[in-house]
């Protein structure tokens, strides 16, 4: 049980899967969280291991259960990667209250629920690191991204507050905010004509930065927002 333990949300594909694979190479025990059991099973297969937790991360009962299960299985929690997200391009006058709540809850409230659940464990351990995956949209949103931008902007501020709170107990909180990344979520909203593939990042590139945060290579950036965007020649 001396191997470090990481919980990763949105681990069924994209950035979450890429992060899981890199942490698996570093011998982390993994708890893989998403809605789709099938996608999580594929991630676990690619990683060679992984505790699968198919759940709704906006449900406080489900989140608490995941954290309890992780602690029971491994005895500790070292890293929490809040990567799960949803983004729909919807004009504000067509954004329903249900759309708004779903976007805020998935991108922001879930991070609060996991933070609330792991914090007592980290206080006891006197260590822990959280990486919250935000977006460039928090500072430069496209039209139709009002709910998504609001959620990610809130996540940035939430992360800074947590970093300041965590400093007293040895906890770091990082925010990684990528631009366009070649994921299913991106392609659900934007066509290759709007975002050509040569202008997008690979999920593995974002995962590299997340892992640096987890491992301490970027420990002095706790509380800051690390923006990532592919530079065009």
Q: Which residues are catalytic?
A: 148
Answer left, alpha or beta for residue 126, where phi above 0 means left and psi between -120 and 50 means alpha. Answer: left
Q: Are 214 and 114 in contact (CB under 8 A)?
A: no
Would you list the DSSP string of 120-158?
HHHHHHT-EEEEEE--GGGTSPPTT-HHHHHHHHHHHHH
CA angle 153, 97, 161 (to 5 degrees): 25
Distance between CA atoms of 27 and 74, rounded to whole angstroms? 13
Please report which residue ranges of 28-145 form alpha helices under DSSP H: 37-47, 60-74, 97-104, 110-125
Instruction: Please give the structure tokens belonging to residue 4.
Output: 């470090």
Distance between CA atoms of 214 and 199, rounded to whole angstroms? 27
């Amino acid at each position: 049980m001396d191997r470090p333990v990481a919980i990763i949300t949105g681990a069924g594909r994209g950035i979450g899967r890429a992060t899981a694979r890199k942490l698996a190479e570093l011998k982390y025990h993994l708890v893989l969280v998403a809605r789709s059991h099938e996608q999580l099973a594929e991630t676990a297969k690619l990683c060679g291991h992984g505790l699968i937790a198919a759940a709704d991360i906006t449900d406080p009962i489900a989140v608490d259960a995941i954290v309890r299960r992780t602690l029971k299985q491994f005895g500790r929690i070292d890293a929490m990667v809040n990567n799960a997200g949803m983004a729909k391009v919807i004009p504000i006058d067509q954004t329903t209250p249900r759309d708004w709540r779903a976007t805020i809850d998935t991108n922001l409230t879930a991070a609060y629920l996991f933070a609330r659940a792991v914090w007592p464990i980290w206080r006891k351990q006197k260590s822990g690191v959280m990486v919250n995956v935000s977006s460039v949209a928090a500072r430069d949103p496209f039209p139709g991204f009002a709910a998504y931008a609001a959620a990610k902007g809130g996540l940035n501020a939430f992360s800074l507050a947590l970093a300041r709170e965590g400093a007293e107990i040895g906890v770091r909180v990082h925010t990684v905010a990528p631009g366009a990344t070649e994921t299913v979520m991106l392609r659900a909203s934007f066509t290759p004509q709007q975002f050509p593939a040569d202008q997008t990042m690979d999920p593995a590139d974002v995962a590299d930065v997340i892992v640096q945060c987890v491992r301490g290579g970027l420990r002095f950036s706790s509380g800051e927002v690390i923006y990532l965007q592919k530079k065009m020649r």
